[in-house]
Structure 1
């Protein structure tokens, strides 16, 4: 706990440096912490409880043990006026650790024994049951449990510690209720009357209130968390703003880079159009200054102005027309070659056609002579093919002679 308080103080000073008003407020709380560290009950707390609770936290962290909810004083909250009654009623039970089940507590106790890490009392929720208590109906009596704020999951543990105690208006009421109802009674000042008849009372130094100190820690932690959130939000806003500015600058640089690359490509193209530079020309102008070269360029431009009336596109047109003429000549050669091929094909086909007709006619003429001699006794007949050319076509006449 001492280390926790010191770390909390250091964290308070570090996190709130940029928040001046809150810083002075937290600095006052730091003084309160340092004063509290000097109290006797803090010394007792450190040597009697701190070792065991710190060991439990370390064991849970090292062995990844879940289901450990913490000591009673960390799990409850109530109005400040009930701090004395709660602390006197609970006593050392404030430091009992609430766990989910007895298996977890057994595991932790085994590690505590092995490491000699102190003694801690556990309250397993699966082993404790909330007692059924009948409270008296009186405006002078208030069940202490009803004035505490805690998670409903921890009801059995809190009922075991506080359910049998009621807050009474004064000692007379406490004595009467303890005798008649069999309940432990306590006043707001911390005076106790046991149901067995014992009475405990006297001055209770509120400045030693453990719950008050815990409440200060809780409020201070909440304030620190708020300041941390504000600081993180401020840092996040600054980061996003810086990121946007950098992104905008990067976009501008990329645009400028693309523009320069475009110009580079354009100038490279112009250089290629000018053709390769002779080594003599390079050596001639290599040692000249930029200013001198600009003067020479200006002079050349002035000389070019004298030829501004000349059609600058004539050369391009000539080259274009020359290319068109060469293309047409190439196509004409291709067409002429195709025409010769077509004529050769027609000639071959005509020859094959004539041969086929002649071969067919010879067969027909032969059969005609044979058939005619059979039909006409003593007669002879034959076919004669007369060719007459009309243009590209051949007309054939068939003549019959009878002897």
Structure 2
């Protein structure tokens, strides 16, 4: 296997630059640069020299043997000064060593997966952790990266292995038929219990809601103040605002965080009948966004609002006094900021109702699909037919193996590790 290296800290200049080297030649590469290796897992100061004997830097070296490294193979970290010239000089020396090459994005983490240091769910959690921008995203990703999903899946798999062993023994049993039937029913009951536990996990909201953000679609008739309200909510002008009705014709998406809750505000064209072909396209796109909205923010007459399970009606342009106070909805003014605080609080309240609980383990769609296949397989368990029961248990185990990356996940690995930055 190649020995790989990469700058794992941020782009220089920086106070410190961390360069990682992983693979069978990592210790040799460090000795070539630094003269000697320190004791494992103990940082020591060394002078780095190039192939010509020129001093490159004076910095720290850390050495991790394969049994205790994050990648599962010999690993060295060079903690050098973070100047561009220093980093470039060290990377140039490493690239000139035989058997070493620069790592691909995510290759260190991929080697950790391939060497059994982490499973696929932990790798996915780590990718989400690196991309986390809100506190809720960080907490959810950290739990998955720490193995919360893996431990539960392993527990289910262990129970299924024991059930499979009992089923195989029952198939080979040559004694009394009643005893075989009793064993079959006991296995089926336990399989049903595991299926119920899987279903409970599958009923939880998906992690994509946290990662991608709650889609809040602003909709209503033309010139209802949708673009002005979007600009007021985000605090800067993101959408074009004019007195002319129908200014917005395309879909505009703007990310926003409110109290740590990730949102995506979606401005849309006014919903109305039009003979203009471009306007009709805009209206069609707006109708699609309304159907896909997690929360619908309706600006207009509440009686004309499309049906939606999570809808907030807004009486916009409240500063103009055009809508009576008795009308349904929250009075908001994008000009005076009246009602904006209450509107934001309402968005946060509804979002928290549909987001995963901060303390709950969250599944992404891939994990949920695999666990759903396991649950479906267990539903095929047939009391009084031990052969069908054994096959259903095997299929369920196979689905759990796909969940944690033990089998059948080659097609997702490149996409997953491609999300990681160089040096991770």
Asked if TM exceeds 0.5, the reply is no
Give the shorter-chain TM-score range: under 0.3
Larger radius of gyration: 1
Task: Write 1 or 2 for the structure with the bigger share of strand.
Answer: 2
Task: Write 1 or 2 for the structure with the bigger share of helix.
Answer: 1
Specify which structure has the bigger relative contact order, considering alpha-carbon pairs within 8 angstroms and separated by 6 or more residues. Answer: 2
Q: TM-score with structure 1 length normalisation?
A: 0.18
